[in-house]
């Protein structure tokens, strides 16, 4: 409303000055006040992360729905299906195990238990998950480690 009032006042001032030299109208500026709200997102549970991994590895789920589970997956959306196929071919099972710990800066870390053809991967690996707009996703770094382990290549993990 303030901008509209200034515009109307300026228009009236310009029409009121006829042949006399018009003084420049004062410059007015408006600024919007921006407020930032930090939304606290709860740390995911191992069960929640396992559900996401199961969905990501499910070949019946379209890759367009899976990209939200892996940071940077939109650079190579079909990669998730390649990883799922490689996991299936290797008889791989992946499970997030407790504890899921807060790593700060909207990240969480959790151990992964990986079994390939019935044999546990010695030592397993730690996975990093990132909070992307309120949803937890596998970090690009961890995803690229898995891709490398599966001996796949992708532009999403280019150096």
Report the half-sphere exposure of 127 (CA within 13 A, side-chain side): 30
Q: What is the pLDDT of residues 87-143, one digit of tens each?
A: 888 888 899 999 999 999 999 999 999 888 889 988 778 999 999 999 999 999 999
For 13, list phi and psi in degrees, rounded to 5: -65, -40
Segments making up each domain of the chain, as ranges: 46-157
Q: In the CATH hierarchy, which fold is given to the domain comprising 46-157? A: Nuclear Transport Factor 2; Chain: A, (3.10.450)
What is the model's pTM? 0.70
Q: What is the pLDDT of residues 15-49, one digit of tens each?
A: 334 344 455 555 555 555 555 445 567 999 999 99
């Amino acid at each position: 409303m303030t901008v509209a009032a200034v515009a109307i006042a300026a228009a009236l001032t310009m029409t009121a000055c006829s042949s006399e030299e018009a003084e420049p109208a004062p410059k007015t500026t408006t600024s919007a006040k921006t407020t930032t709200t930090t939304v606290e997102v709860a740390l995911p549970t191992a069960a929640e992360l396992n559900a996401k991994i199961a969905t990501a590895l499910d070949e019946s789920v379209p890759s367009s729905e899976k990209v939200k589970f892996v940071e940077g997956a939109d650079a190579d959306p079909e990669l998730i299906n390649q990883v799922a196929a490689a996991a299936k071919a290797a008889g791989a099972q992946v499970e997030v195990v407790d504890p899921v710990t807060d790593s700060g800066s909207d990240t969480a870390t959790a151990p992964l238990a990986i079994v390939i053809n019935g044999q546990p991967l010695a030592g397993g690996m730690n996975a990093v998950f990132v909070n992307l707009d309120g949803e937890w996703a596998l970090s690009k770094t961890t995803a690229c480690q898995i891709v490398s382990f599966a001996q796949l290549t992708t532009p999403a993990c280019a150096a």
